[in-house]
């Protein structure tokens, strides 16, 4: 007989009814929980710890991104600008530490209109506000809850360009690998591009992979997806002895994944508004909770797939840099002239 469990109350405290329904449907139909749902509640502490670890390490992907932001800052503050001030639009704003110096430089130079934190998670928005307004009491901090996998850039971002006395443009930061974690990368780029103006830039970074003949499985021992898996098992009240957490490379999809292998039959009861619904998980089934699409860098350092995807989304890559040791790309993009 299947083990019967009920989703714990703390799960409902974290998610809206629409999100509960979305999670239920993903789990029911695809055996997936998108990673975008793992930036709330107790997991915030894991993200904060990761930010601190990256900031303290002598070499880290966050350090590469920090360097990239520093170069953007020099370029924008020293060159002739097309506007009086900018709005920094931080897409996925989970690392206030990373943008601290960047925001501070624009403020010091009187070139910042507002800092806009865009994120699906209210807990991340709260953390961003807390940190940035403590460091910079004069900062015009604006938080906007948005799911970039579902809808175009919200109008609240466009509204922030309005200023009675000065011209204001948006610059979009989308750093930290998140772009490769989504299910539909093209849709995400299109959602971002939908809110951009022709003279505005998107600055994006993510990890890539140099062409290799054999791939190693993903090591999840210290990876954040392990904490996320444990959190999910707790929400669903699945016994830890009845699950294994698996990291692997999915050849067919072209990236790394973390799945939870269920080792016993479970009937899990969800409450969706006033109704109860049951998901039956069978022994041997896997739930995917993390994915990282691995763009390949060719031996001549080109990345045709990155260029093709961005072009398809209506974005032109103006600058393409690779950090070879940590396998990371940094892109500067704007709208393709044809889509303006």
Ranges within 321-340 binding ligand SAM (CB under 6 A): none
Site string for ligand SAM, 9-38 (x = CB under 6 A): ---------------------------x--
Q: Does 65 bind ligand SAM (CB under 6 A)?
A: yes
How many Å from the N-terminal Cα to the C-terminal Cα in the chain?
59
Identified binder of ligand SAM from the candidate list 24, 39, 115, 203, rule CB under 6 A: 39
Identified binder of ligand SAM from the candidate list 76, 124, 208, 330, rule CB under 6 A: 124
Burial of 12 (0-12, 13-18, 19+ CB in 10 A): middle
Identified binder of ligand SAM from the candidate list 23, 69, 94, 289, rule CB under 6 A: 94
Distances (CA, A) of 275 to 16, 28, 227, 266: 15, 16, 30, 19
How many Å is the maximal CA-CA distance in the chain?
71
Identified binder of ligand SAM from the candidate list 22, 66, 147, 200, rule CB under 6 A: 147
DSSP SS3 for 161: coil
Minimum CB separation of residue 74 from ligand SAM in Å reads: 19
Identified binder of ligand SAM from the candidate list 148, 179, 235, 256, rule CB under 6 A: 148
Identified binder of ligand SAM from the candidate list 68, 85, 139, 176, rule CB under 6 A: 176
Which one, 187 or 261, has the nearer CB to ligand SAM? 187
Minimum CB separation of residue 96 from ligand SAM in Å reads: 9
Identified binder of ligand SAM from the candidate list 105, 170, 175, 227, rule CB under 6 A: 175
In 10 A of CB 237, how many CB atoms? 16
Distances (CA, A) of 247 to 47, 112, 261, 337: 19, 42, 11, 41
Identified binder of ligand SAM from the candidate list 113, 121, 142, 170, rule CB under 6 A: 121
Minimum CB separation of residue 79 from ligand SAM in Å reads: 24
Give the integer Cα–Cα distance in Å for 192 and 202.
Answer: 9
Beta strands in the chain (DSSP E): 3-6, 85-91, 112-119, 141-145, 168-174, 201-207, 209-210, 243-250, 255-262, 266-272, 275-281, 286-293, 296-297, 315-323, 328-335
Contacts with ligand SAM, residue ranges (CB under 6 A): 36, 39, 65, 92-95, 98, 119-121, 124, 146-149, 175-178
């Amino acid at each position: 007989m299947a083990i019967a469990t009920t989703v714990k109350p703390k799960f409902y405290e974290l998610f809206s009814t629409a999100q509960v329904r979305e999670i239920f449907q993903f789990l029911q139909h695809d055996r997936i929980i998108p990673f975008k749902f793992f930036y709330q509640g107790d997991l915030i502490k894991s993200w904060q710890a990761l930010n601190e670890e990256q900031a303290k390490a002598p070499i880290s992907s966050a350090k590469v991104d920090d360097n990239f932001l520093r170069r953007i800052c020099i370029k924008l503050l020293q060159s002739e600008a097309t506007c009086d001030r900018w709005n920094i639009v931080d897409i996925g704003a989970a690392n206030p530490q990373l943008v601290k110096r960047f925001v501070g430089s624009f403020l010091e130079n009187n070139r910042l209109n507002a800092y806009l934190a865009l994120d699906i998670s209210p807990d991340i928005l709260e953390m961003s506000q807390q940190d940035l307004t403590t460091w910079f009491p004069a900062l015009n901090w604006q938080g906007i809850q948005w799911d970039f996998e579902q809808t175009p850039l919200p109008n609240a971002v466009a509204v922030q360009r309005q200023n009675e006395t000065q011209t204001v443009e948006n610059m979009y930061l989308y750093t930290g690998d998140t772009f490769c974690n989504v299910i539909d990368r093209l849709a995400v780029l299109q959602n971002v591009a939908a809110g951009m103006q022709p003279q505005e830039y998107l600055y994006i970074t993510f990890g890539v992979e140099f062409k290799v003949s054999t791939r190693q499985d993903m090591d999840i021992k210290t990876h954040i997806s392990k904490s996320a898996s444990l959190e999910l098992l707790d929400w669903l009240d699945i016994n830890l002895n009845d699950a294994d957490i698996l990291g692997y490379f999915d050849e067919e999809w072209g990236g790394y994944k973390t799945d939870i292998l269920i080792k016993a039959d479970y009937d899990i009861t969800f409450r969706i508004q006033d109704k109860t619904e049951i998901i039956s998980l069978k022994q041997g089934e896997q739930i995917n909770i993390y994915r990282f699409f691995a763009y390949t860098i060719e031996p001549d350092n080109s990345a045709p797939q990155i260029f093709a995807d961005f072009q398809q989304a209506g974005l032109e890559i103006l600058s393409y840099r690779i950090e070879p040791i940590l396998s990371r790309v940094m892109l500067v993009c704007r709208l393709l002239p044809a889509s303006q």
